[in-house]
């Protein structure tokens, strides 16, 4: 089902995303809703691919 995706790469839910990006659950939900982080929805659940998020951060650092 998840061919090519490393085990544990996808975080599911604002609580898991918040823990990974070191913020509150509400702030994580807000960032997902506003497109501030590269999150996507599976049904009603916000998800974040860790590898994509880290690539996004690296790109922002390189551009700064």
Question: What tens digit of pLDDT does each residue of 8-53 get?
Answer: 899 999 999 999 999 999 999 999 999 999 999 999 999 999 999 9
Whole-number pLDDT of residue 59: 94
User: Is the backbone of residue 4 left (phi > 0), alpha (psi -120 to 50) or beta?
Assistant: left
Among residues 48, 37, 58, 38, which one has the least CA distance to residue 13? 48
Whole-number pLDDT of residue 8: 86
pLDDT tops 60 at residue 1: no
């Amino acid at each position: 089902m998840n061919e090519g995706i490393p085990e544990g790469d996808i975080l599911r839910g604002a609580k898991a995303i918040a823990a990974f990006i070191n913020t509150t659950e509400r702030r994580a939900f807000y960032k997902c809703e506003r497109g501030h982080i590269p999150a996507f929805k599976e049904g009603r659940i916000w998800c974040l691919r860790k590898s994509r998020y880290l690539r996004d951060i690296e790109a922002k650092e390189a551009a700064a």
